[in-house]
A and B are shown apart, each in its own frame.
Chain A
Amino acid sequence: MRYALAALLLACAMSAVRAQVETPKPPIPLDARQEAQYKALLPELRCLVCQNESLADSQAPLAADLRYEIRGLIAKGASDADVKRYLVARYGEFVLYRPRLEARTLLLWGGPFLLLLAACAGVLSYARRRARPAAPPPVDEGALRRLLEEQDR
């Protein structure tokens, strides 16, 4: 077992580690307002490589590339909407943690309210049914009269 582990470690160490080539890129300076815009925008954007991380948090090489692109766009004066449009055109609506409100996403945004409405209607109809007094059982008039007469006697 120990030898197997050692052999495995050795094999790992010896296998040539091939990785993505990172081309050096000059840093893109942003002014204070642009830097604030950049910082606020990144957590809104999903990294497609590790889908539960935002572009702000992700260590994936693609996320680094996209951060660089976004810095470049913002340096050129792009608004938040411009940056989002750039990403959605390439990767689809999925990159936005908060999807935009439009015809295609109407059910997504309205769905919870529809469910709430349905639940309210259900509860209301149930409550109504319970509040309605149960109809009195049919009375045998003859038996009632006889009982009353018996009492009067």
Chain B
Amino acid sequence: MRFALPLAVLIALLALFAVGLQRDPRRVPSPLIGKPAPAFDLPTIALPGPPGAAPPPARMTQADLRGAPVLVNFFASWCAGCQDEHPFLMELARSGEVRLVGIDYKDAESDLRRWLGRHGDPYAVVLSDLSGNTGIDWGVYGVPETFVLDAQGRIVFKQIGPLTPEAWQRIRPLLQGSAS
């Protein structure tokens, strides 16, 4: 009985540490969740898409992301994590489950073309954020980062780091909820 209180405090502290130490401090929650996608106006990069596909418009804005759920993937040819997630993005593109929009972050167009040529192009359209200003407006602090937008152009989820199959399992129900 004498030790009941100290023991309770100790257990509470241990529980706090157990939860706290398992959280990754590198994953900073985005304040943009639940908000409309930040404005942008970026040039698209003309890429050899599937035969017969219409070429993308020369520029796109956040308004062009509305209408259907979409994954906005900030990536770059110089980024190692992007190479890690790339095979899964290719798989996702083949499944046709969701539209993938790539934003090429602070990257030379020639590097991007070579990189997509080597690894494959999973994107419906690729935009070029050469200055990194759109990245700043979206709160990107390290590529790859993937934003999940619902049909209304609202950010419902942000994946920091490579998009893994496990992350996709968590994202998929969010898209189904927003589509209906």
> Which residues of A line the B interface, CB within 8 A?
18-23, 48-49, 51, 61-62, 65-66, 69, 88-94
| Chain B residues whose CB sits within 8 angstroms of the CB of A18 once the complex forms | 77-78, 111
Instruction: Give every chain A residue within 8 A of B97 (Cβ-Cβ).
Output: none
- Contact (Cβ within 8 A) A23 B139: no
> Hey, which chain B residues are within 8 Å of A90, CB to CB?
31-32, 38, 136-139
Chain B residues touching A, range: 20 to 34
Interface on B for A, CB 8 Å cutoff?
A: 25-26, 28-32, 38, 76-78, 105-108, 111, 130-133, 136-139, 141-142
| A48: chain B residues within 8 A (beta carbon) | 28, 141-142
Q: What's the nearest-Cβ distance from chain A to residue B113, in Å?
A: 13
* B32 nearest CB neighbor, chain A only: A90
Alpha-carbon separation in the docked complex, A149 to B29 (Å): 85
Chain B residues closer than 8 Å to A93, beta-carbon distance: 31
Q: Are B137 and A62 in contact (CB under 8 A)?
A: no
Residue in B25, B78, B137 whose beta carbon sits within 8 Å of that of A51 in the complex: B25
B136 with A23: CB separation less than 8 A: no
Q: Chain A CB within 10 Å — which of B38, B133, B139 has the most?
A: B139
